[in-house]
A and B are shown apart, each in its own frame.
Chain A
Amino acid sequence: MNPRLHAVRLGLRRGLIEFRHQMTSTQDVFFTVMTTASFVVVLYLQRDATLPGTDLPLAAATLPGMLGMLVPVTSMVGAVGMLSVEREDGTLLRAKAMPQGMVGYLVSRVTSLSLSTVVSVIVMIVAGLFLVDGLTGTGAGGWLTVAWLTLLGLLSSLPLGAIVGSLAANPQAAAGLSMLTVGGLTAVSGIFYPISALAGWMQGVAQIFPLYWLGLGMRSALLPDGAAAAEIGGSWRPVETTLVLVAWAVVGLLAAPPILRRMARRESGSAMQTRRDRAMQRIG
């Protein structure tokens, strides 16, 4: 029995168990339902509007953007939150105290966060099928692109979440940091209004980050080819999309392990106690 492989298998198992815990927790389900519901409400309100200058339903253009946002937001905010909370409650230290425990821990987190992200994406698509005209016409190739982008989105966002979660001093700081990042990137991502309407420098900033490309990719999968005219350069730019997302994934996957290791090395019972004492002072 190879111990590391054994721990990977245990991590998968643990990820599934904790995903089940999430699915049966009223609090978590409520959160997911609320997030999805808010998106659905937007789609519903847009049901009669069309994209200016076209006869394309506005909702059809919004949904791909939402999908493109859902993947990094769910996985990144989830990773940041989990890491910062689990550093404080001792889950991480427990993993550190067991043989190959950190391997099991990381695999389980990747598993459960990926599963919850995929579930959110599926819920959103199902809602879209009912609310958005034309979505039912998407072919197998389009859905395959959605799946591929979801995977790339996970690969590029989870390591970033792990890095932010490792660097944040406490869960409050972590939540603030992740909200700030996500909020800032969403504003310039072209998800809620066409990016071509933004100032040139903002377009440049948006195109550095994965969020814009995930939105663009999702639109290429779910919109008719003619809609590409509204994009930068009048093209879906599939090659650039893949290159940018893969680059983010590679950078994240290279940078995250040493940062995680450094964070884990510094974890100890007394470090945890100090953080908790500080947390109590904040409350008290």
Chain B
Amino acid sequence: METVRELPDGLDRVNTAAIEVRGLKMSYGTKEVLRDVGFTVAAGEVIALLGPNGAGKTTTIEIMEGFRAPSAGHVRVLGVEPIRGDERWRARLGVVLQSWRDHGRWRVRELLHHLGRYYEPYAPQSRSPFDADELIAAVGLTEQGEQRVRQLSGGQRRRLDVAIGIVGRPEVLFLDEPTAGFDPQARRDFHDLVHRLSDLDDTTILLTTHDLDEAEKLADRILILAGGRIVADGSPDRLSREFSRDAQVRWSQGGEHFVHATDDATGFVRRLFEQHGEEVGDLEVRRATLEDTYMAIVKREEA
């Protein structure tokens, strides 16, 4: 995915993808967690990484964050091998881990303002760190600005974590289960925030989640990690079509309700009308959801 372009001043500039992973392997002792993981993320893409518990999602993310050295493989984030990434590279990333309980005594605004300042020396004019107040408003914590961090509710705390993750206006943002423990309103607000980051700031976002609905709403592309490999890679729609053509057809006839599963819904409905015509009522055709697809893929992998 690399294109080398000759610049007028004779320097080679490599336009790399935001994230590039090939042949990634990771073992803990004799336990092989990642066998052969490979994927590419273009700049500005939003990717959801799905997979059953213990599939290695967090390990994969930690390797990309530079927090963990892989056993083998080629990993590049913004063109840099994460484990060797320097502070300038670090300044271009945003990291939101699964759980954080730090800085309980700080006030929300005070903390965001302080942490934002670490990015000042690295920020180009176009990407100066977020103003604390602007950010607090963006994650819906305006009323909590003067509260101490430990007084925040679970969902509020999580939104603060996200705010800290993006305070340096990252080019690549890693979110590990960002919405665990959110109520529906907080979840929706968070989705709006992700859309805004990706639309306005062109942030590349990689998130893990167990909420398939969320993955479908947010992600341009979905990666499914199972058995130590990426077993599916595509838009939610494409995945559904590719992996499961099953659809459910429901209808009523003579006061009775029927359900039929088929991989050719159109043909089935055509025959249904040919045979019964006017008698058919309450027709409903439901394509396999992402959840059905996901379950089918994971089951196949684990079999």
* Complex contacts, B102 vs chain A, CB 8 Å: 86, 89-91, 93-94
- Check A255 for interface membership: any CB of B closer than 8 A: no
Q: Knowing A18-B105, A104-B118 touch, does A268 contact B68 (C-beta < 8 A)?
A: yes
Q: Are B105 and A25 in contact (CB under 8 A)?
A: yes
**Residue of A whose beta carbon sits closest to that of B63:** A268
- Complex Cα–Cα for A89 and B149 (A): 13
The contact of A99 among B98, B99, B119, B176, by CB within 8 Å, is: B119
**Residue of A whose beta carbon sits closest to that of B59:** A270
Contact with A along B168-180 (1 / 0, CB 8 A): 1000000010000
Which residues, 1 to 49 on A, are CB-close (under 8 Å) to B?
1-3, 6-7, 10, 13-14, 17-18, 21, 25
Q: Are A269 and B67 in contact (CB under 8 A)?
A: yes
Least Cβ distance of B129 to chain A in Å?
Answer: 11
Least Cβ distance of A157 to chain B in Å?
Answer: 24
Q: Are B90 and A21 in contact (CB under 8 A)?
A: no
- Complex Cα–Cα for A89 and B99 (A): 9
* Complex contacts, B97 vs chain A, CB 8 Å: 90, 93, 97, 269, 272
- Check B20 for interface membership: any CB of A closer than 8 A: no
Q: Are B122 and A94 in contact (CB under 8 A)?
A: no
- Complex Cα–Cα for A18 and B100 (A): 18
**Residue of A whose beta carbon sits closest to that of B164:** A94
Q: Are A98 and B118 in contact (CB under 8 A)?
A: yes
* Complex contacts, B98 vs chain A, CB 8 Å: 269, 273
Least Cβ distance of A28 to chain B in Å?
Answer: 10
Q: Are A100 and B68 in contact (CB under 8 A)?
A: no
Least Cβ distance of B273 to chain A in Å?
Answer: 55
**Residue of B whose beta carbon sits closest to that of A99:** B91
- Complex Cα–Cα for A273 and B95 (A): 16
Contact with A along B51-67 (1 / 0, CB 8 A): 00000001100100101
- Complex Cα–Cα for A13 and B95 (A): 23
- Complex Cα–Cα for A6 and B176 (A): 30
Least Cβ distance of A19 to chain B in Å?
Answer: 11
* Complex contacts, B117 vs chain A, CB 8 Å: 6, 10
- Check A231 for interface membership: any CB of B closer than 8 A: no
Q: Are B118 and A269 in contact (CB under 8 A)?
A: no
* Complex contacts, A7 vs chain B, CB 8 Å: 118
Q: Are A98 and B90 in contact (CB under 8 A)?
A: yes
Which residues, 95 to 140 on B, are CB-close (under 8 Å) to A?
95, 97-106, 110, 114-115, 117-122
- Complex Cα–Cα for A91 and B111 (A): 12
Q: Are B122 and A99 in contact (CB under 8 A)?
A: yes
* Complex contacts, A10 vs chain B, CB 8 Å: 114, 117-118
- Complex Cα–Cα for A276 and B102 (A): 13
- Complex Cα–Cα for A268 and B95 (A): 12
Interface residues on A, range: 20 to 34
- Check A101 for interface membership: any CB of B closer than 8 A: yes
Tell me which of B93, B95, B98, B118 has the highest count of chain A C-beta atoms within 10 A of its own C-beta: B118
Q: Are B121 and A3 in contact (CB under 8 A)?
A: yes
- Check A96 for interface membership: any CB of B closer than 8 A: yes
* Complex contacts, A272 vs chain B, CB 8 Å: 97, 99
Q: Are B87 and A3 in contact (CB under 8 A)?
A: yes
- Check B245 for interface membership: any CB of A closer than 8 A: no
* Complex contacts, B260 vs chain A, CB 8 Å: none
Q: Are B114 and A14 in contact (CB under 8 A)?
A: yes
- Complex Cα–Cα for A17 and B148 (A): 13
Q: Are A17 and B106 in contact (CB under 8 A)?
A: yes
- Complex Cα–Cα for A192 and B195 (A): 66
Tell me which of B68, B93, B176 has the highest count of chain A C-beta atoms within 10 A of its own C-beta: B68
* Complex contacts, B121 vs chain A, CB 8 Å: 1-3, 6, 99
**Residue of B whose beta carbon sits closest to that of A3:** B121
* Complex contacts, A21 vs chain B, CB 8 Å: 105-106
Contact with B along A255-276 (1 / 0, CB 8 A): 0000000000001111011001
- Complex Cα–Cα for A157 and B120 (A): 33
- Complex Cα–Cα for A221 and B119 (A): 46
* Complex contacts, B22 vs chain A, CB 8 Å: none
**Residue of B whose beta carbon sits closest to that of A270:** B58
* Complex contacts, A6 vs chain B, CB 8 Å: 117-118, 120-121
- Complex Cα–Cα for A193 and B237 (A): 80
Q: Are B101 and A100 in contact (CB under 8 A)?
A: no
- Complex Cα–Cα for A189 and B211 (A): 60
- Complex Cα–Cα for A104 and B110 (A): 16
* Complex contacts, A18 vs chain B, CB 8 Å: 105
Contact with A along B31-65 (1 / 0, CB 8 A): 00000000000000000000000000011001001
Sampled A-B contacts (26; CB under 8 Å):
A2-B121, A3-B122, A6-B117, A17-B106, A18-B105, A89-B104, A90-B97, A90-B100, A93-B97, A93-B100, A97-B65, A98-B90, A98-B168, A99-B87, A99-B121, A99-B122, A100-B87, A104-B118, A267-B67, A268-B68, A269-B58, A269-B97, A269-B98, A269-B176, A270-B58, A272-B99
**Assuming A90-B102, A99-B91, A273-B98, what are 7 further A-B pairs, CB within 8 angstroms?**
A6-B120, A90-B100, A94-B102, A97-B65, A98-B119, A99-B90, A101-B90
Instruction: Enumerate the 10 nearest inter-chain pairs by beta-carbon distance, A residue then B residue, closest first.
Output: A99-B91, A91-B102, A3-B121, A269-B97, A268-B67, A97-B95, A90-B100, A21-B105, A99-B87, A90-B102
Binding site for A on B (CB under 8 A): 58-59, 62, 65, 67-68, 87-88, 90-91, 93, 95, 97-106, 110, 114-115, 117-122, 164, 168, 176
